[in-house]
Structure 1
Amino acid sequence: SVGPASLMGLGPSREGEAVNPEGFMLPFPLFLCRTQAEMAHTCRGTINLSTAHIDTEDSCNIVLSNGGRTYHLKANSEVERQRWVTALELAKAKAIRMRNNQSDDSGDEEPASQSDKGELHGTLKTLSSKLEDLSTCNDLIAKHGAALQRSLSELENLKLPAESGEKIKAVNERATLFRITSNAMINACRDFLDLAETHSRKWQRALQYEREQRIRLEETIEQLAKQHNSLERACRGAPGLSSGGAGSVQSAKGEASDEDEETEYFDAMEDAPAFITVTADPKHHRYDPPHSRATCLAHHLLPKKRRRTRIPDKPNYSLNLWSIMKNCIGKELSKIPMPVNFNEPLSMLQRLTEDLEYHELLDKAVKCESSTEQMCFVAAFSVSSYSTTVHRTAKPFNPLLGETYELDRLDEFGFRSLCEQVSHHPPAAAHHVYSKRGWTLWQEITIASKFRGKYLSIMPLGAIHLEFHSSGNHYVWRKVTSTVHNIIVGKLWIDQSGEIEIVNHKSKDKCQLKFTPYSYFSRDVPRKVTGVVTDADGKAHYVMSGTWDEKMECSKIVQSSHGSTSSEGKQKTVYQTLSPKVLWKKYPLPENAENMYFFSDLALTLNEPEERVAPTDSRLRPDQRLMESGRWDEANVEKQRLEEKQRAVRRRREAEAVEALEEGYIPLWFERKVDPMTGELICVYKGGYWEAKDKQDWSICPDIF
């Protein structure tokens, strides 16, 4: 029988050892000695803990058995025995894990490269150095802690008031706990290093395997994309796909189609005309042939001013987005200061104005004779505003409170636009557009954004209003959610998803548009948008189809019938349509767009310096101007100055509002009213801006820059 006291002096810790109750280490296998002095020359027995059986005979005895070999150990007390059993069980569990890991490492994987081994060795060396530092600190803590406790004990022996004695006793107890915790921390660090050394080869091989798998996957995806494009071009270029005979419409995909199982089911939505088997009768069409961009420009662009066609190239600054975003999970991003390195040189007011890039769709809608046909152009316009976002992964500048942006294109395009930042938290912008060609558009958009870990969700809140002057048709709709993917790794990309319901409050016509979220496993064309235009009685007149980054078409419905029942029990509807007509097609990006933030021709002109604008105009914002010029370091300093200036003004305004019992910020050019269509409180244009511009009287404008 060998007492546990004989085991307490086991030598220095090494790989594969477990902490015993006294802070020493239990090795695998366990070596048994009568005294600590015997460790250097005499071993009374060994037992492999990974296969050992641990049992207790009575309150103090422990039995270790392994096949034909049995050892009886005796503890001094029941408490000590239980501590030893716990330590032995932990050591046995670690021994089993070590044995399993060694068997796992016996595979045929290739060894890690020399550079990987060097990197791993350097990391472990650094960890060992840090551990030595911790051990030194631990010794110092033990030394000074013991001295502190001696001093406290001496204080306790002095004749002090009872209250002082109690305080000193409490401090003494805390000092003891501090020393125990420090020892535990050092032991935990030592265990961590041992574990890292044990598993390093296995981890390295797993990492190398994952790297190779990722490279193979990227190559496979790239190859599949090339094959898909080749097949698509071959399909579109194949003979016999340009016309079709009369008859019923059938889906080429049949039951394998990836169409969602909603109530509406569209058969006439594919790009290839072969899917539309009803011959179009020209007399049934009120649409003009779609204009090319050159035709549109020749018709609309009669510029009196030559506008710029390029901006300075984006500097090649590398900055890890994840390093900043990882601390923003679940937070409202408008409250988090971000460097200009993640921005594009436009404000959110300018991005909102970009929605007007395809304003000619509304000019055409003015001339439509029927409200359902006009709805098709309005729907195409609502989709076209997303086409500028497909490559625009940089964020716009968050406008300062009171910041404005005007776009006066009355002579060139027949419209003038004004935006004002009417709230800072949450960020909200009011927008008003008047066109002398017969329409007015207004909106107040509040941006809600949340970072979810792998992606960023941007949710525009608020209704968009569009009214045609002659007919009085009043359309209302809301924007869908934008999602920025690959925040952590990979190339950033943007998707739009959700539904838009456009309602004509005069005629009660509706258009329900669905933005299908992108899926790796779907056979649908990416960025797909589909919809149906119905009248007040619910009768379907047009089918809308296309993509939000390329084009939108409409097909006139000539007949509808009930189709099969979906898996959810909903009745599908099959529409027989005439050939689709292109209502909108995206303009090609300018040359060198990839180095100019992927700006369109219109976006390149939005921040161009212009005379006679209000002193609060985004074009005059100094940090944005510096950033556009490529002076990002100066822009970041200026951005901090502007934000601090805005905070100081807000604190002063809030203090004055409390004293005067008044509201806080009041917009300059807009006023809050209840929207009769939606019942919401919305900022609408109250007038005065363009008159102030004519007089060049900007006396009411605040100094925000």
Structure 2
Amino acid sequence: MDYFVFVSVYKDDSGDEAPIPHEERALTQGVLKTLASKLDDLSTCNELIGKHGAALQRSLSELEELRGSNDNTDKVKAVNERATLFRITSNAMLNACRDFLDVAESHSRRWQKALHYEREQRHHLEETIEQLAKQHNSLERAWRENPSSYAGVERPQDGDVSDDNEEAEFFDAMEDSTAFITVTAAIRQLASQVSAFTFTESLFVCFKDTSTNHLQLRRTRRTRIPDKPNYSLNLWSIMKNCIGKDLSRIPMPVNFNEPLSMLQRLTEDLEYSELLDRAARCDSSLEQMCLVAAFSVSSYSTTVHRTAKPFNPLLGETYELDRLEEYGYRSISEQISHHPPAAAHHVTSQRGWTLWQHITIDSKFRGKYISVVPLGNIHLQFHSSGNHYVWSKVTSTVHNIIVGKLWIDQSGDIDIVNTTTKDTCRLKFSPYSYFSREVPRKVTGVVEDREGTAHYILSGTWDDKMESAKIVESSQGGGGSEGKQKTVYQTLQPKLLWKKYPLPENAENMHFFSSLALTLNEPEEGVAPTDSRLRPDQRLMEEGLWDEANIQKQRLEERQRQERKKREANCCKSQDIEGYQPLWFDRKTDENTGDATYFYKGGYWEAKERQNWSQCPRIF
């Protein structure tokens, strides 16, 4: 059995450099530009010092010649002026030197620290590879001693195996499975070591034998999709008859869509799941609330350029996202109603939290804009503390439907409640106004305990970042516009809670998808036959075949209408008019809110493991 270990790093020991990441290159260029500017300042100051120093020297010589004369007032005045100029120039030189030194020292420390960290990680990597080589050697020894236990595997040449390794472990024929487990664990350890390596760009750990091809242990997700075609469409010709109507009941061509379903857009809220991982480790419920609030805002960051409509899922359509290996969570969602569109979503994380939601979408066309109002609550519970958070989403509005460039805005309030401790946070999404002096897309909030005492101020924008500042003192200020007194908070320096990831290269031609969004519709084996990845019209649209996608979309919608008529004819009056019972979710009353919602009843991941999808309907 041969092993192949390929590691692409930022810089190797020989000094050969791999392609530098774009962010690091931009930062380095910025620092070099700053240092060059400081050097120019130093050069200018040096020339001025030389010029004024020479003039001062001449004045002093002339003053020396006039010593003893009574008519030297003008010369003394000239000397004083030149001395003043020399002093000013010298001070400027000193300041420029200090600035240059500060910049050089600060970045030098950062680079030295990064280099030291890189060397340590490289040392750990070398030790791990050495250990892997020893275990490889021990396997080959066991193989040579018991060739009958490894049927179908080609025996290596005697010269290929080293016999002088005294630290190699030996395994007899009864321990062959244990030997393979040991090697797998070593490979996983190698991958975990390298994943912590800041400047490592990629790691591929592969092995092969005579019966299999190369096998990559960790899947590489795709980083691009086909570019969006440039198709023109008369929007008003379609929308003029839709004013005041529910858009979910109006057939639309795929030209208005992006190649993702609403279930996938719902799952995209997990783009910044690391905020919840951090929150799960918080001892303070108030600090935890700050991170939960930042997570609730982060879900809107991907929408700033995304004015296209996601595909409305078919009834019974599902979507799974298994990121246990990368991020420790699994997500499953199901379309539980078609009119009105409603979905149930459940996420379980190995890093200490569970999230679930039941969202119904209410969308209306108002002539100049489209408003999308998500109805329903989002629930989040942390395993260790038991803290249970509940909140809802704000209204999304797409403007300039008829004339002008489409743009999207988020407005309204989000009230986050910790039902366990009764802590609260109200986030205000300020609507955009042409006449306002406020920062566009501004979000502000206050975190309060159960007594109503404010502890943190949250501020930022929903498309970029959120910060928190701890309140140290509060007082009543002047009257507001409605005659109410405003509360003035004195805070410490704000701390960054969340920062948006930069969009991938060429995102403007890929529907402005984020890195996670690019992977959501990537084909995967073993998913349920109702999974959104298998929807033909959505797949054709992603591939740029929009005419074919429209044909498939009409076919699916007509089929769904026929299925609905059958259910209406067969269902009893006591049943829901949809006559549909979700496969993976049950409708129950929530103990915290008293509202009816849908809870995951289990069984999906077990069915996937068995590949038993017999209960799934045929919807595509």
- The TM-score bracket by the shorter chain reads 0.5 to 0.7
Instruction: Report deviation, 1:680.
Output: 1.0
- Pick one of 584, 593, 597 that aligns with 1:669: 584
Q: Which digits, 9 at most, give the CA deviation of each residue in 1:431-463, with x for residues without a partner?
A: 000001000000010000001110100000000
Indicate conservation of the 8 Å contact 1:421/1:429, yes or no: yes
Structure-2 change in CA distance of 1:460 and 1:546 (3 Å): same
Mapped partners of 2:232, 2:364: distance in 1 = 24
Please provide the CA RMSD for this pair: 1.9
Q: Distance in 2 between matches of 1:485 and 1:455?
A: 5
Q: Give the residue type in structure 1 aligned to 2:377.
A: A
Partner amino acid for 2:379? H
SS of structure 2 residue aligned to 1:658? coil
Map of 1:703 onto structure 2: 618
Amino acid at match of 1:578: L
CA contact (8 A) 1:301 1:413 kept: no
The one-letter amino acid paired with 2:603 is G
Q: Which residue of 2 aligns with 1:562?
A: 476
* Structure 1 consecutive aligned stretches of length 4 or more whose deviation exceeds 4 Å: 294-303, 659-663
Q: Which residue of 2 aligns with 1:222?
A: none
CA contact (8 A) 1:563 1:573 kept: yes
Structure 1 counterpart of 2:385, one-letter code: S
Do residues 454 (structure 1) and 368 (structure 2) align? yes
Q: Distance in 1 between matches of 2:604 and 2:339?
A: 24
Write out aligned runs for 1:82-231 (5 A). none
2:446 match = 532
Corresponding position of 2:355: 441
**Aligned pairs for 1:452-531 within 5 A:** 452-531=366-445
Partners of 1:429 and 1:633 in 2: how far apart? 28
Shift of 1:295: 8.4
Mapped to 2, the partners of 1:326 and 1:477 lie a distance apart of 35
Q: How much does 1:301 deviate?
A: 10
1:576 aligns with 2:490: yes
Q: Paired residue for 2:535?
A: 621
CA gap 1:318/1:683 in 2 versus in 1, 3 angstroms:
same
Paired residue secondary structure (1:625) = helix
2:183 maps to which residue? Answer: none
- Count of aligned pairs: 412
1:380 aligns with 2:285: no
Name the structure 1 match of 2:263: 349
Q: Do the aligned residues in 2 keep the contact of 1:558 with 1:576 (CA within 8 Å)?
A: yes
Which protein is bigger by CA-based radius of gyration?
Answer: 1
Is the 1:304–1:412 Cα contact (8 Å) retained in structure 2?
Answer: no
How far apart, in 2, do the equivalents of 1:341 and 1:311 lie? 17
TM-score by length of 1: 0.57
Aligned counterparts of 1:677 and 1:385: Cα–Cα separation in 2: 24
1:555–1:577 Cα contact (<8 Å) kept? yes
CA distance, structure 2, for counterparts of residue 425 and residue 401 of structure 1: 9
Partner of 1:407: 321
In 2: Cα distance, 1:381 partner to 1:593 partner = 23
- Could you tell me which residue of structure 2 aligns to residue 684 of structure 1? 599
Is residue 2:569 matched to residue 1:655?
A: yes
Normalised by the length of structure 2, the TM-score is: 0.65
SS of 2:478 mapped into structure 1: strand
The yes-or-no answer on 1:427 pairing with 2:341 is yes
> Partners of 1:369 and 1:661 in 2: how far apart?
46
Matched, 1:592 2:506: yes
Partner deviation per Cα, 1:484-508 (whole Å, 9 max, x = no partner): 0000100000000000000000000
Contact 1:331 1:450 in 2 (8 A): yes
Q: Which amino acid aligns with 1:586?
A: K
Equivalent position of 2:50 in the other structure: none
Distance 1:645 1:300 in 2: 47
Aligned counterparts, 1:254-333, within 5 A: 304-333=218-247
- What is the CA–CA distance in structure 2 between the aligned matches of 1:300 and 1:431, rounded to whole Å? 33
- In 2, distance between residues paired with 1:471 and 1:661? 39
The alpha-carbon deviation at position 318 of structure 1 amounts to: 0.6
Q: Render the CA deviation track for 1:89-127: whole Å, top value 9, x for unaligned.
A: xxxxxxxxxxxxxxxxxxxxxxxxxxxxxxxxxxxxxxx
Cα shift at 1:658: 3.4
Residue pair 1:404, 1:617 contacting (<8 A) in 2 also: yes
Q: Determine whether 1:398 maps to 2:398.
A: no
Relative distance call for 1:614 and 1:297 in structure 2 (3 A) is farther
CA distance in 2, matches of 1:480, 1:555: 24
2:608 corresponds in structure 1 to 693
Provide the residue aligned with 1:369 in structure 2: 283
In structure 1, give the amino acid aligned to 2:599.
V
Mark the CA change 1:539 to 1:301 in structure 2 (over 3 Å): closer, same or farther: farther
Q: CA deviation at 1:381?
A: 0.1
Q: State how far apart, in whole Å, the 2-side matches of 1:296 and 1:364 are.
A: 20
Deviation at 1:320, TM superposition (A): 2.1
Structure 1 pair 412–301 and aligned structure 2 pair: CA distance change class (3 A): farther
How much has 1:347 moved relative to structure 2?
A: 0.2
| Superposed counterparts of 1:25-36, under 5 Å | none
Q: 1:661 to 1:628 in 2, by over 3 A?
A: closer
- The verdict on how the C-alpha distance between 1:526 and 1:636 changes in structure 2, with shifts beyond 3 A counting, is same
Q: Distance in 2 between matches of 1:355 and 1:591?
A: 21
Partner of 1:645: 559
Aligned-partner Cα distance in 2 for 1:508–1:600: 35
Gaps of 5+ in 1: 1-293
Separation (CA, whole Å) in 2 of partners of 1:398 and 1:489: 25
Q: Given the superposition, is the C-alpha separation of residues 301 and 690 from structure 1 closer, same or farther in structure 2, using an over 3 Å criterion?
A: farther
**Cα deviation, residue 661, structure 1:** 6.8
User: Which amino acid in 1 is paired with 2:289?
Assistant: M
Q: Which residue of 2 aligns with 1:113?
A: none
* Counterpart Cα distance in 1 of 2:592 and 2:199: 38
CA offsets 1:642-691 (integer angstroms, 9 cap, x no match): 01111111111111113997871100000100111111111110000000
Alpha-carbon deviation of 1:321?
A: 1.8
Instruction: Give the distance between the partners of 2:307 and 2:454, measured in 1 at CA.
Output: 37
Q: State the secondary structure of the residue aligned to 1:412.
A: helix
SS at match of 2:571: helix
Q: Secondary structure at the match of 1:642?
A: helix
Q: Relative to structure 1, is the Cα distance of residues 662 and 503 closer, same or farther in structure 2, using a 3 angstrom cutoff?
A: closer
Contact 1:301 1:412 in 2 (8 A): no
Give deviations 1:161-217, integer Å, cap 9, x for gaps: xxxxxxxxxxxxxxxxxxxxxxxxxxxxxxxxxxxxxxxxxxxxxxxxxxxxxxxxx
Q: Which runs of 5+ in 2 are unaligned?
A: 1-194, 204-216
Within 2, Cα distance between the matches of 1:693 and 1:436?
19
Pick closer, same or farther for the CA change 1:574–1:297 going to 2, 3 Å: farther
Q: Which amino acid aligns with 2:387?
A: N
Post-superposition Cα deviations, 1:238-280, rounded to whole Å, max 9, x if no partner, equal xxxxxxxxxxxxxxxxxxxxxxxxxxxxxxxxxxxxxxxxxxx
The amino acid of 2:566's aligned partner reads R
**Is the 1:330–1:451 contact (alpha carbons within 8 Å) kept by the matching residues of 2?**
yes
What letter matches 1:611 in structure 2? Answer: E
Distance 2:537 2:488 in 1: 55
1:417–1:432 CA contact under 8 A, matched in 2? yes
Q: Per-residue CA shift, 1:609-657, capped at 9, x if unaligned?
A: 0000000000000000001000000000000000111111111111111
Separation in 1, partners of 2:383, 2:202: 23
CA distance in 1, matches of 2:349, 2:222: 24
Q: Percent identity?
A: 76
Q: Answer yes or no: is the 8 Å Cα contact 1:448–1:460 preserved in 2.
A: yes
Task: Please give the alpha-carbon distance, in whole angstroms, between the structure 2 residues aligned to 1:620 and 1:689.
Answer: 17
On the 8 A contact 1:300/1:412 being kept in 2, the answer is no
Please state how far the C-alpha of 1:409 moved relative to its aligned partner.
Answer: 0.3
